Amino acid sequence: MSVSPAEPPATESGSRRALRDVDAVVLVGGKGTRLRPLTLSAPKPMLPTAGVPFLTHLLCRIRAAGVTRVVLGTSYKAEVFERHFGDGSALGLDLRYVVEDRPLDTAGAIRNAAAGLTARDVLVFNGDILSGVDPAAVVDTHRSSGAHATLHLVRVKDPRRFGSVPTDETGRVLAFLEKTDDPPTDQINAGCYVFRREVVDDIPAGRPVSVERETFPGLLESGARLQGHVDTSYWLDLGTPAAFVRGSADLVRGVVHSPALPRPAGPAIVLDGARVADDAKVHGGTAVGEGAEVGSGATVEGSVLFSGAVVGKGAEVRRCVVGARAVIGAGAVIEDSVIGDDAVVGENCELVGGARVWPGVELPSNGIRFSADV
């Protein structure tokens, strides 16, 4: 991969003015298989998260940073995105859509979006990462260092579960290392990047390309400058049910800020048309969707109730996702579980340990205990 010489550092004021010359790409093409059955009916970035589709939070953060042109790299259920967001004008954005006919991996998907880009620098986001990073700050790091590509690197307590990305004293990236029991740094790739447009254009088109295994190592080998923007901001991959529930709850409680939050941060968010009994306990960052119901004496803690979901009298729901129009019977106890759309959990049932109930399934009443997929 050929690269041009590094640009001279920009002044602080010049960097901020030039932020207008930035487009964004958001990769939202994945099938979200780890979140099934929730993603059988909607792509992962469109799942209700703290009251709105998760992608709304990310798009509003991008707009707040001063970027207005955004290309969505779609694949799975691609039509859902355009149907909901349209041209993006309601969010103050110019939204474009690019569909992958076949999986192209991360860098391949970025290259596939290139036709919709016009700016000199490109911000790239993974559409399933909840992050507190300031996109404008990442761009400032990119331009002030004269980098060809800049990676948001987040420090984590246990980097052994991730590949690590060491940097020198100036923040320049030195290597991309696989998972190891003794990582040399606590810095990991957080899935947000800034590329010069020429670097995007140099990615091979029409085939799968991994940004971690091909693009970044190729840039290092060619002598390009890869810069790390390192911080300890909030960061969470929403790829599993437990992480999805936690991320939604953290948004509701204000642990991580979002300009798209439909209500002020607090113990819970209750959307229009939802009904919560006066003696019910709804807290811990719970989001209650439109038209949902929580019955007398029920407890809902740190959970997500989709539109039309019903939690019966005296039921206990903790750290769960309850799908659209699903019913949790009176006296039922469910913890750390996923209930699909239109499913019914019978009275006095108990679901624990990551159980998943598929859409439309009806579980009988009378205290049956489940701890596996049904």
**Is the pLDDT at 347 greater than 90, yes or no?**
yes
Look at residue 10 and tell me whether its pLDDT is greater than 70. Answer: no
pLDDT for residue 177: 84
The confidence score (pLDDT) of residue 365 equals: 83
Q: What is the pLDDT of residues 194-218, one digit of tens each?
A: 999 999 999 998 899 998 889 999 9
Nearest to 304 by CA among 236, 234, 373, 242: 242
Domain 12-241: CATH superfamily, name plus number: Spore Coat Polysaccharide Biosynthesis Protein SpsA; Chain A (3.90.550.10)
pLDDT for 20-50, tens place per residue? 789 999 998 877 778 888 888 888 899 999 9
**pLDDT for residue 190 is more than 80:** yes
d(CA 67, CA 111) in angstroms, rounded, equals 19
Give percent above pLDDT 70 in the chain: 93
Mean pLDDT of 114-118: 87
pLDDT value at residue 11: 36
- Report domain extents, the chain: 12-241, 267-370
- At 3, the pLDDT band (50, 70, 90 cuts) reads very low
Confidence category of residue 6, pLDDT binned at 50, 70, 90: very low
Indicate if the pLDDT at residue 1 is higher than 80: no
Contacts of 236 (CB under 8 A, 6+ apart): 129, 130, 131, 243, 246, 247, 250
pLDDT of 41 reads 80
What confidence score (pLDDT) does residue 370 get? 58
User: Quick check: 28 and 72 in contact, CB under 8 A?
Assistant: yes
Q: Do the two domains 12-241 and 267-370 of this chain adopt the same fold?
A: no
**In terms of CATH architecture, what is 267-370?**
3 Solenoid (2.160)
